[in-house]
A and B are shown apart, each in its own frame.
Chain A
Amino acid sequence: MTHLVLPNSGHNRDPEANKMGMWLFLFTEILLFGGLFIVYFVYRSINSDAFLHASYQLNVTIGTINTIILITSSMTVAMSITALQKGNLKLSLILLWITQIFALAFLVNKYFEWGAKIDHGIFPGMAHYAEMASGEKLYFFLYFFMTGLHAVHIIIGGIFIAVVMKKMKEGKVTSERISLLENSGLYWHLVDLIWIYLFPLFYLIH
């Protein structure tokens, strides 16, 4: 007597289920940031002048460069998925490497941006920060909190893509079994999308 195999077994490979699970997870990510967006909205409407004033201290050029970097990296991920779908493993891997380099470049820029602020004592607990008006404090707190959380997501996304790259090399992710790569792409697009909201909210206030 062999054990019963159900047609609807939970151990079957089910790309639809994987994708659905990823989308549901992305909803939770959006709501995680959603709480922060609410807080931003409330405090910006109370302290609109302070937020405007504080935003002048951010470097729009670096922010713009980072935006371009992230959008381009989203494109390379999408291209890499198409490349693997068409069976071109090598090109797909190269495109993922480019994505990783973009991710690293984004983080390096972020490091210099944060570093400059901290050098000027603008970080919760530091001298310059303590002298600021409460609205500006809130602006910089939210800036560090939200871009910091976003940077954490960049790192997680980078690790996720690295794992997928390893599995592609081992032949565990192929054009027939592509859902893991697609999911890492979905995650990367989300990280990109959140930045597209963060950038105008912090850098481009008028």
Chain B
Amino acid sequence: MSAITSELNFFQVKKGIFSWLFTLDHKRIGLMYLYAILSFFLIGVVLGLLMRLELIAPGETIMKPKTYNQVFTLHGVIMIFLFIIPSIPAIFGNFFLPIMLGTDDVAFPKLNLLSWYLYVGGAIFALMTLVVGDGPADTGWTFYAPYSVQTGTNVTLAVLAAFILGFSSILTGLNFIVTIHRLRAPGMGWFEMPLFSWALYATSWIQLLATPVVGITLLMVIAERVFGVGLFDPSIGGDPILYQHLFWIYSHPAVYIMALPAMGIISEMIPTFANRTIFGYKAIAYSGMAIAFVGYFVWGHHMFTSGMSGSARIVFSIMTFLVAIPTAIKVFNWVATLYKGSIDLQPPLLYALAFIFQFLIGGLTGLVVGALAADVHLHDTYFVVGHFHYVMFGGTGFAFFGALHYWFPKIWGKMYNIKRAKIAFSFFFVGFNMLYFPMLILGLMGMPRRYYDYLPEFTNLNVISTVGSWVLAIGLIMMLWNLIQGWRNGTKAGRNPWGGITLEWQTKSPPPLENFDKMPVLNEGGPYNFKTK
């Protein structure tokens, strides 16, 4: 039996649905995450398109206010908890972390499968809110008290879903930390790891240490709804600000759970396509850890207008500005890597460049809302919505699709049509900026967020934004169609179509079950030393 295993790739070793559902192979688990997460992403996209359609004209267009509230809440819950938080770590981290470290699996394969089942369980709870009782929650994805403990919609189920998904995320983080500590290839020191592993390492610590706090907070929301004890509801003696603190103690670091893995992916793609050693390896590695660390102490910037002492606000504002430093270090290093590189403008690099451009806008607008005086005006306007989507979608989302294009030939062993991928990218890129840039301007003009309606003077920009959402959707469909075509009848990709030098490019595409068909050889002089190639 073992005579042939290395000849077959991990798709071929075993067949049938149960060989997937009970698999302990990190690659298959990664792909099961991919299929689940992409499905929920598409649901989230449809909800987003519906919201934009409602906002194409003032007044009621296609839905009532309550429906709109439910749609944006479900959009947020799906996109945050079911898409962005798990996306890169659970899919590409699961698939590529062990390969990049030169090992054959994560440290705890059974735990890995358990976290996938927790994810699916949580997702089912989140979708059940659609059909049970009084419909999905209408509180926004933040579940702010006291409204979340008073509304009749399905907050309890939605909160329970977030709680379960949190535990899935914790177990993935735990698995990755131990994997990185214990399973690196012989001779691979901490600073010979690929930067994607560093990014996942920083992310995993946040997942591990921040998620339990929101877990227990969400349980308290459920208790408050069931027993009405007055934890967060001021009408019975509770303190809603306390809820906000507890919520953001997790949910701000969670923003870095979403952003850091994306930065790791950019750090992989840029040296490959610039064909050049990464500039400032250690600076990138350390700055990721710095972002994770400082990210714990900035949660208060979500609450500048909800009642906090002046000195606390100043401290939180200063800490927020500090986060910009390690982030800027990374951007500087990426750009410096491109400088004098021999750049090969393939689709993944296009996504990486779009990431840098859009993340820059997202990051700088973040400083604007992180400044006390500006935030008082911009809080709860579309400026915040624009900022958030520039960071999360323009940043992490683009990195995610870049990674999909980057590792597609490795995962499926086939290549998609490069030209079509570039065309799809241009639609995606133009649509994205058309959709979200007007929001920044609308916010500055004073349009508040979370309403199904607006004043007539905001109409023009809203129309541009909605049309942008259609362009974006066309780009997305083109991209997915192109990838599916590549998967069905693309040309064979070979081991190393991009000329990358991290370990995943040494093995076959798709990799065999045990990841390597010959001993992985570490690159001399660091993981990105292209001179030895």
A residues adjacent to B (C-beta < 8 A) = 1-11, 14, 16-17, 20-21, 24-25, 27-29, 31-36, 38-39, 42-43, 46, 124-125, 134-135, 137-138, 141, 145
Chain A residues closer than 8 Å to B512, beta-carbon distance: 3
B5 close to chain A: CB less than 8 A: yes
Give the Cβ gap from B405 to chain A, nearest Cβ, in Å.
28
Contact present for B246 and A38 (CB under 8 Å): yes
Q: Which residue of B lies closest to A133 (CB)?
A: B237
B326 close to chain A: CB less than 8 A: no
Q: Which residue of A lies closest to B215 (CB)?
A: A32
A interface majority secondary structure: helix
Q: Which residue of B lies closest to A5 (CB)?
A: B514
Contact present for A3 and B5 (CB under 8 Å): yes
Chain B residues closer than 8 Å to A3, beta-carbon distance: 2, 5-6, 512-514
Tell which of B102, B174, B183, B515 touches A25, judged by Cβ atoms closer than 8 Å.
B174
How many residues in B have their beta carbons less than 8 Å from beta carbons of A? 62
Give the Cβ gap from B3 to chain A, nearest Cβ, in Å.
6
A-B contact pairs, 10 of them (CB 8 A): A9-B103, A10-B109, A20-B182, A21-B174, A28-B209, A33-B216, A35-B217, A35-B220, A39-B231, A141-B230
Contact present for B2 and A134 (CB under 8 Å): no
Contact present for A28 and B177 (CB under 8 Å): no
Give the Cβ gap from B242 to chain A, nearest Cβ, in Å.
6
Which A-B residue pairs are the 7 nearest by beta carbons? A134-B237, A10-B105, A124-B227, A35-B216, A31-B212, A141-B229, A32-B212
Contact present for B209 and A31 (CB under 8 Å): yes
B127 close to chain A: CB less than 8 A: no
Contact present for A14 and B104 (CB under 8 Å): no
Q: Which of B382-390, B485-493, B516-524 contacts A (4 or more CB under 8 A)?
A: B516-524
Contact present for A137 and B230 (CB under 8 Å): yes
Contact A134/B107 with A4-B519, A20-B178, A35-B217 known, Cβ cut-off 8 Å: no
**Interface membership of chain B positions 14-33, coded 1 if the CB is closer than 8 angstroms to chain A and 0 otherwise:** 00000000000010000000
Chain A residues closer than 8 Å to B178, beta-carbon distance: 17, 20-21, 24
Q: Which residue of A lies closest to B207 (CB)?
A: A28
Tell which of B107, B211, B230 touches A138, judged by Cβ atoms closer than 8 Å.
B230
17 further A-B pairs in the complex, CB-CB below 8 A; given A10-B104, A39-B231? A1-B3, A6-B520, A8-B101, A8-B182, A9-B103, A17-B108, A20-B177, A20-B181, A31-B210, A32-B213, A34-B213, A34-B216, A46-B239, A124-B226, A124-B227, A134-B237, A138-B230
